[in-house]
Amino acid sequence: HLSKRLETVSEHVEPGSRLADIGSDHAYLPIYLAKNKIINYGVVGEVARGPLSNAINEISKEGLLDILHPRLADGLAAIEADDQINAITIAGMGGILISQILENGQDKLTGQEKLILQPNVGENIVRTWLMNHQYFIKAEQILEEDHHIYEIITAVKSAQPVGYSAKQLKFGPYLLIEKSPIFISKWREERQQLQRVISNMKRATHEDKPKMKKIEQQIQEIDEVID
Ligand code: SAM
């Protein structure tokens, strides 16, 4: 049984895709896609030996070693030209790490692949990387599972330069318009946390006025979106 988070990621993988799942751990996502015949070719990339052997065990248990190819590699180095990859999933990591993997793996990107990214935190860093490398955000999703809120960002290479405002990079261009109940509760929680920081700072003897002002600005930005 796949988590709701990974199931939602899987919905963005188009049938017949040649997929690379980077940082796959148990390979649950590519196994699910292969079992459901959504993909018939997948590269399963892992930088660490433990998770790679988890992946190999699960894939062979399911009898999918002819479809899914586990490889020990750092980021997109798992991909070879012959794979003809046209979809890349990177899920369950921080936005900084996802951006680093994309940055360091640029020689592996042909511009033909759909990127399906699920950062646990630091979504703005991922969106900024995409914008700076001329990727257009095609879709976004937000979901809640086990008291965690996750965002999924899919992107494709654009023929023209891409521009997003600071507000769009922070909140997500589509999520910002959609304003779903989960989105509202994510930013309400974020606001509460910032408010707590302010309260603690006010109680402290040495007030850091510039920092406080910055946090107050962040609170105001959130208010403009969720009010
Ligand atoms: N993608 C799965 C998911 O969403 O459930 C597993 C997420 S797990 C928290 C993150 C995995 O990424 C770990 O197994 C880790 O070894 C792997 N990882 C971290 N940095 C990596 C890199 N540069 N290249 C490949 N895998 C990496």
Per-residue pLDDT tens digits for 133-159: 999 999 999 999 999 999 999 999 999
76 with 11, same domain: the answer is yes
d(CA 188, CA 124): 17
* Residue that the structure tokens 């946090």 belong to: 215
40 with 151, same domain: the answer is yes
188 with 86, same domain: the answer is no
Q: What distance in angstroms lies between residue 211's CA and the mean position of ligand 1's atoms?
A: 34
92 phi, psi to nearest 5 deg:
75, 25
Q: 24: Cβ below 6 Å to ligand 1?
A: yes
| Residue 177 within any structural domain of the chain | no
112 with 214, same domain: the answer is no
Count Cβ atoms below 10 Å from residue 213 Cβ, excluding itself.
10
The pLDDT assigned to 203 comes to 86
Q: 70: Cβ below 6 Å to ligand 1?
A: no
- Residue to probe by mutation, ligand 1, list 1, 26, 33, 47, most atoms within 8 Å of CB: 47
Q: 140: Cβ below 6 Å to ligand 1?
A: no
Domain boundary among 130, 162, 194: 162
* 8 Å CB contact between 134 and 161: yes
Which is the closest atom of ligand 1 to the Cα of 3? 5
| Residue 35 within any structural domain of the chain | yes
pLDDT in tens, the chain (227 residues): 899 999 999 999 999 999 999 999 999 999 999 999 999 999 999 999 999 999 999 999 999 999 999 999 999 999 999 999 999 999 999 999 999 999 999 999 999 999 999 999 999 999 999 999 999 999 999 999 999 999 999 999 999 999 999 999 999 999 999 999 999 999 999 999 999 999 988 888 767 888 899 999 999 999 999 98
3-state helix, strand, coil in the chain (%, to 5): 50, 25, 30
Q: 93: Cβ below 6 Å to ligand 1?
A: yes
158 with 196, same domain: the answer is no
20 with 98, same domain: the answer is yes
| Residue 90 within any structural domain of the chain | yes
| Residue 95 within any structural domain of the chain | yes
| Residue 96 within any structural domain of the chain | yes
Q: How many independent structural domains does the chain possess?
A: 2
- Residue to probe by mutation, ligand 1, list 1, 8, 46, most atoms within 8 Å of CB: 46
Q: 55: Cβ below 6 Å to ligand 1?
A: no
109 with 151, same domain: the answer is yes
Please report, as a single letter, which amino acid is at residue 22. Answer: I
The pLDDT assigned to 84 comes to 98
The pLDDT assigned to 83 comes to 98
**Smallest CA separation from ligand 1 atom 17, residue:** 23
Range of the domain at 79: 4-162
Q: 23: Cβ below 6 Å to ligand 1?
A: yes
Which is the closest atom of ligand 1 to the Cα of 75? 24
